[in-house]
Chain A
C-alpha cells in the first residue's frame, strides 16, 4: 500500500488568488497523478507528474492554470492559479505502484469566494 498525505486539507480562498496543494507519499513512486472532483461529480484527471520531466496535462487543463512541480520521487505540488468560484472542488493526488492498484490521498477541499 501507500500512505499519501495532502496539505492543506481544506481552504477558502478569494477570487484571483492562487493556492498550492502539497502531496507527500511515504515511499518513492515514479508516477503521480492529480485529479479534480467538482461538487457532486466524479473524478477527472488533471495531469500526470513524472519526476524529472514536465507534467502531462489532460484535455481541458493547461499548465498556466494548474502548474505542477515534482521535485523528487515522494513529493508533488499542484497550484490552482488565478482562482474563480468555478475552481471550487476537491483536488486529489494519487500514485500507482503497479498497473492494477492506485492509491489516493484524502483530498484538498477548495472553496473560492
Chain B
C-alpha cells in the first residue's frame, strides 16, 4: 500500500469545522482513500472512503484533489466526542484478495477545545 503523510496533531474549537489534510503523492489508480478514527480506549472505526469524487456521509465529508495526490477529511462541526486519532489510509480496490491489507500510519491526533 502507498504511503500517506499527515500532521501529527491538530487543534479545533468545538462547533467549528475541521479540515484534516492527507498527502499521498504516490497513490496509484487502483487505490481507494480511506479514513478511520480511533477514539480514546477504543478500536478504530471507519469514517469514510473515496476514489476520485468528493464523498459525504453522516460523519464527515471527503474532499479529493483533482490529481488525487492529496485529500482532506472535513468534520463540519467538531464536537468533544470527535477528539481522536484520524488515520488516512490508501488501500488497493482489490483489498485483501490482492494481498493488500489495511496499513495504518501515524495519523493525526485531533484535540477539540470547548
Residues of A within 8 A of B (CB): 4, 31, 33, 42-45, 48, 58, 92, 94, 96, 99-107
Contacts and interface: CB of A to CB of B under 8 A. Distances in A.
Contact of B95 (A44, A99, A103): A99
Nearest to A100: B49
B45 A42 contact: no
Nearest to B32: A100
A100 B104 CA distance: 15
A58 B100 CA distance: 12
B105 A42 contact: yes
A47 to B, nearest CB: 10
Q: Is the interface of A mostly helix, strand, loop or mixed?
A: strand
Contact of A107 (B43, B93, B105): B43
30 contacts: A31-B96, A33-B101, A42-B87, A42-B104, A43-B104, A44-B104, A45-B102, A48-B96, A58-B101, A94-B102, A96-B95, A99-B32, A99-B94, A99-B95, A99-B96, A99-B97, A100-B32, A100-B34, A100-B49, A101-B46, A102-B46, A102-B102, A103-B45, A104-B44, A104-B45, A105-B43, A106-B42, A106-B43, A107-B42, A107-B43
Interface in B21-49: 32, 34, 36, 41-46, 49
A45 B100 CA distance: 11
A45 B34 contact: no
B41 to A, nearest CB: 8
Contacts of B103: 45
Contacts of B32: 99-100
Contacts of B43: 4, 92, 94, 104-107
Chain B interface size band reads: 20 to 34
Contacts of A107: 41-43
Considering residues A44, A94, A99, A107, which has the most beta carbons from chain B within 10 angstroms of its beta carbon? A99
Contacts of A58: 101
B7 interface: no
A100 to B, nearest CB: 5
Nearest to B46: A101
B4 to A, nearest CB: 11
